[in-house]
Structure 1
C-alpha cells in the first residue's frame, strides 16, 4: 500500500512540475498553453479600466447630455446605470472565475448551454462579440480623429467657416484615425512583458488624468435650469459602457486569472462608476444653461468648446491632449482584447481561414495575424465616415447592442442551467441567480433604450401619416429595421433599406443562413467540460507541456 502511495505521490509531483495550476485548468477546458503568461492582476486592471473609461464616455456625448435631461437628469441617470452595471459585472465575474479563458463570452455560452446547444450558443455569441468589438473600437478610433480636428479648429489651423461635414474636415478625421490605428497596432505587437508595463502605465495615466479633471478650476457659476427626468437618449448616453469583459480575453496571459479577472472587472466598474459621477458633476457645474444649444459651434466638439469657454485656448489644448492620450490608451486596450478574442475564436475553427488567424508569432507567442485581421476590419469600418458620419454611428450602435446581447446570452444560460454550474474561486453563492436576473432585466432595458426615440413624439391627436412617419423616424432603427418614407400625396408608408439597416439585416441573414445551411454540420464549438475532464492524468500533462 505504501508503494502505491509513493507512486501516486510521484505522479502528483510530476504533474505539478510539468504544468502550473493555470495551465492545468486551461487543459481541463480543452486547450494547451500557447500564449505567454506575463500579465499580473494590476496590469489586467489597467487594461480593464482603460476599456471602461469615464472621460471617453462623458466628453464625446456631452452635447446629448446637456440637451436631453440636463444636469439633473444626468446626475440621476449615471448612478442608476452604474448600480445596474455592478450587478452585470458581478455575475460576469462569477462566470469568468469558473472559466478563465481568452475565448471569454462565447466559451462561457458553450459551457453553460451544454453539449447539445453549445455549438449554436457559442457561434452566435462569438460573432456578436466579434462584430460588436470591431464596431466599438472603430468608434473610439474615430473619436481620436474628431478630437484632433477640434484642436485644429481651436488653434486656427482650420477655419470655422469649414463645415464639419465637409470632405476636408472628414478627411482629416479619417486620416488621423488611420494613423492612430497604425500606432496602436505597432504597440500591440510588442512582447507580452511590454504589454504588462503598458497596463501598469495605464493605471498611472488614468489616475493622473482622472485627478486633473477634478482639480481643474471651476471658472463659471453653475446654471442648471429646471429639474428634469432623464430622457431616453440621455440613458443611451450612459449605457454605452460595454468593454469590461476585456479582462476575460486576457486570461491566458494572466497569472491566476480565476481571481485576477473578476478583480479587474469589478475594480474597473467601481472605479469608473464613482469617478464618472463626480466628473460629470464637475463638468456640468461649469456649463451655463444659455450655452447648451450653442456648444460645438466653435470647434465642432462640445467637450472642447467647454474646455475653451472655461480654461481658454491653452487650457483647452492641455485638457484635450490629455483626453487624446486617454483615448489612445483605450484604443490599445480594446485592440489587444479584439486580437485575443479573434485568436480564440479562430482556435475553435469559427472564422474563415481559422488555421491562418490562429497562428502565433514564433518567439513572442503573440496573435499577430489575428491582430492584423481586426486592424483591417477597424479601418474598413472607419472608411465610410468619409461619406457620412451617420453610417459610422449606426455601426457603433450595432456594436453596443451586440455587446449587450453578448453579455445576455451567457447570463441567461447561467440562470436556466444553474444546477450544472461549477463555480470558481469567486462565487456569489445563493445570490447568484437573483443578481443574474437583475442583470438580464437591465441589459434588456438597455438594448431597448438604444432603439427608442431621441426627440419628442408627434403632437398629441395627430393622425396624419406624415406625422406618424416623422415620429417613428426618431427611433434608432438602424440596428434592426429599414427606414421608411411616405410618398408625396399618399398616406401609405413605404419601407426601404439604407446602408446601415441593410448591414445588420444582412449580418443576421448571413449568420442564420450559414448556420442552417452549412455551419451546423461541422461547427462543434469549444470543448465542453464534464466531470471526467477535471481528472488530469500524468500522460496528458506531459503531452500538453511538450506539445
Structure 2
C-alpha cells in the first residue's frame, strides 16, 4: 500500500513467483526455445511493477480488479500512478508466462523429437547422426537450385550451343533435357525416400544390390559420385573465374586473360567458397533460401531489361526454329546432340543434395520433394531466361570470337548499348555464381565425408572426422578444395579445359545416378515398392527412360565441341575420367578389396539395435566390430 505522497511502499501478490519453469530447464538449447524463455522471463519481471505515465487523476479501466493509488513523484518531475494491489494482473501475467513457456516447450520438444526420430531411423540404417539437422525442405530446394544455377550455367555454356545448332539447340535442347532430368530426379527421389542417408547413390547401390555384389557395386558408384561432385564444383567455380575476367572485357575489349590470371582467379573463388563453408556453416540455411529469391529476381530483371533496351529483335521463326551447326564441323544431326551438353551440365547437380539427408528433419519426405521440385523449377526458369536472350541475340559470329569462350558479357553490353549496363546484368549472374560455388562445395564435402567414413577413400581416418566446433567435416572440405584446385591446373595445357570439366562432371554424376536406378529396375523394383515417394505403375517406364539417356550421354559428352581437334581444343573428359578410374582401381586392389565391405547395410545383422552404428571415422571398422564409443571426435 501507499504510505505517503513522496514515499511509496508497494506490496505484490507473489503468485507469479511460483510459475513452474522446470520444463524449460530441460529444453534443448535451440535458438527458438531460448528466445521464448527470454520473452517469458521478461513478462514475469515486468508484471511485478506496472507503471503508467498517466495524468494524476486518471486510472486505467482496462485492468479490472486492479486498485490504483495516486502519488506525486515530484523527484521524477512527472505524476505517476503506482500499482498497489495487482494480484489479478500478476496472475494473468503468470498465466501468459505459462502459455509462452508451454509453447516453447512444445515447439522445442517437437523439433527435438523429430531430430531424435530421424537419428534413430539413421541408426537403423547403420550410422550415427553427427551433423545438426537444421536444414528445411526449402533450404535443400535452394541448395539444389543453387548447384544447378540455371542462369549462370546457361550463360557460361552458351558458347557450346551457339556452335552446335544455335536457337533450336539452345531452346528445344533445354526442354528435352529438362524432361529427361525430371525422370531421373523422380527415380532418385523414389529411392531416397526409402534410404535417406548422406551416402546418397553410393549407399543406395549397396542397399538395392544383392549382398554378394554390394561392396564392389557401391565402391564403383561411390567413386563415380565423388568424382562427379568434385568436378561439378570445379566446373562451376572455374567458369565463374572466366566470367569474372570476362567482365573486364566489357570495359576493355583488348584485355585477354592469360592462363595464370584465370587459374589464380579460380583459386580465389575456391578459397572464398571454402571459407564460407567452414566458418559460415550456421548460415547455409539462410544462404540457400536467399539463392532462390536472388535467382528469380535476376531472371526477371534480365528479361525485362533485354526486351526493353534492345534496338533490334529476332523473329519468332528464328527463336523457335532456326538451326545452324556450320561452326561445329560435325554433321548437322549429330551436332544437336553434342550441343545438349549445355543443358545436361546445368541440370546435373540435383542428385548431389542427397548428401544433405543427415542435416534435414524428416529427410525421407523433404529431400525427395526438393530433388524433383528443383528440377521442375529449373526447367521453367531456363525457358524464361533463354527465350528473351534468343529474341535479342546479336551477331552469332561476333559472340563466338569472344575471348575465353564466355560471350554473355558481350551480349549484355551489345543489347543494353553500354558497358555499365552490360556489367550490371553480368553482376546478377556473378551473384548466382557465389551461391552455386558455395552450394556445390557444401555437397561435395558431405559426399567426401560420407564415402570416407566407410573406408573407401585413402586417408579415410582423417577425412571422415567431423569438427564439432564448426559442425561440419572440415578435412573433407579441405580435400575437396585441394583436389579441385589441382585439377584447375589442366588449363595450363588445354584452352578447352572447361569443356573437359563439364563433360566429366556430367558423365560421372549421370552414371552414378544410373547405377542404383538400374539395379532397382533389374531386381524388379522390390525395394522401392512401398516408397513414400512412389512412382507407381509409371516407375518402370520412367526408370527405363533414365537409363537409356544416361548410356547415350556417356558417349556424346566425351566428344569435342567442334572439329577439327588439336591438343589444345581436345575434350579431355575421358582422360580425367580414366585418371580417377585408375586411382580407384589401384586403391581397390591395394586395400579395399580385402578391407572394404561396403556400407553397413550390406550386412543384415547391422539392423540389430545398437550394433555397429558408425560415426565419424568409422570407415570399415564395422567389419572389425567397432562401436560408436570407439570413434574419435575432435
Shorter-chain TM-score: which interval?
0.7 to 0.9
> Which of 296, 303, 309 does residue 408 from structure 2 map onto?
303
* Offset, 1:279: 1.2
> Which structure would you say has the larger Rg?
2
Mapped contact 2:356–2:443 kept (Cα < 8 A): yes
Question: Equivalents in 2 of 1:361, 1:406: separation in Å?
Answer: 28
Q: Which residue of 2 aligns with 1:432?
A: 539
Q: Which residue of 2 aligns with 1:235?
A: 340
Mapped contact 1:455–1:474 kept (Cα < 8 A): no
* Offset, 1:379: 0.8
> Which of 578, 585, 590 does residue 505 from structure 1 map onto?
578
Moved more, 414-423 or 193-202: 414-423
Moved more, 266-275 or 144-153: 144-153
* Offset, 1:193: 3.2
Q: Which residue of 1 aligns with 2:191?
A: 95
Note the aligned Cα RMSD (angstroms).
3.0
Q: Which residue of 1 aligns with 2:572?
A: 478
- TM-score between the two structures when normalised by the length of structure 2: 0.72
Aligned in 2, Cα 1:476/1:427: closer, same or farther, shift over 3 Å? farther
Q: Which residue of 1 aligns with 2:298?
A: 209
Deviation string 1:149-199 (CA, Å, 9 cap, x unpaired) is 11112123xx61x5x4xxx53322222211111111111013543111112
* Offset, 1:30: 0.3
* Offset, 1:66: 2.2
Aligned in 2, Cα 1:546/1:125: closer, same or farther, shift over 3 Å? closer
Deviation string 1:77-120 (CA, Å, 9 cap, x unpaired) is 21111111111010000011111111111111111112111110
* Offset, 1:323: 0.6
* Offset, 1:126: 0.9
> Which of 257, 275, 292 does residue 381 from structure 2 map onto?
275
Question: Equivalents in 2 of 1:517, 1:387: separation in Å?
Answer: 31
Aligned in 2, Cα 1:42/1:546: closer, same or farther, shift over 3 Å? farther
Deviation string 1:314-371 (CA, Å, 9 cap, x unpaired) is 1111111111110111000000001100111111011111111111113232111111
Question: Equivalents in 1 of 2:366, 2:158: separation in Å?
Answer: 33
Question: Equivalents in 1 of 2:139, 2:225: separation in Å?
Answer: 23
Question: Equivalents in 2 of 1:32, 1:258: separation in Å?
Answer: 17
Mapped contact 2:142–2:292 kept (Cα < 8 A): yes
Moved more, 169-178 or 49-58: 169-178
* Offset, 1:385: 1.8
> Which of 275, 280, 291 does residue 186 from structure 1 map onto?
275
> Which of 53, 70, 89 does residue 149 from structure 2 map onto?
53
* Offset, 1:29: 0.8
Q: Which residue of 2 aligns with 1:451?
A: 558
Q: Which runs of 5+ in 1 are unaligned?
A: 1-15, 457-469, 481-500
> Which of 508, 520, 526 does residue 599 from structure 2 map onto?
526
SS at structure 1 position matched to 2:465: coil
Question: Equivalents in 1 of 2:610, 2:454: separation in Å?
Answer: 23
Q: RCO greater where, 1 or 2, for CA within 8 Å and sep 6 or more?
A: 1
Question: Equivalents in 2 of 1:38, 1:544: separation in Å?
Answer: 23
Aligned in 2, Cα 1:342/1:79: closer, same or farther, shift over 3 Å? same
Question: Equivalents in 1 of 2:151, 2:276: separation in Å?
Answer: 22
SS at structure 2 position matched to 1:36: coil
Q: Which residue of 1 aligns with 2:396?
A: 292
- TM-score between the two structures when normalised by the length of structure 1: 0.82
Aligned in 2, Cα 1:473/1:314: closer, same or farther, shift over 3 Å? closer
Aligned length: 489
Question: Equivalents in 2 of 1:364, 1:413: separation in Å?
Answer: 37
Q: Is the counterpart of residue 119 in structure 1 residue 215 in structure 2?
A: yes
Mapped contact 2:115–2:133 kept (Cα < 8 A): no
Deviation string 1:477-498 (CA, Å, 9 cap, x unpaired) is 6344xxxxxxxxxxxxxxxxxx
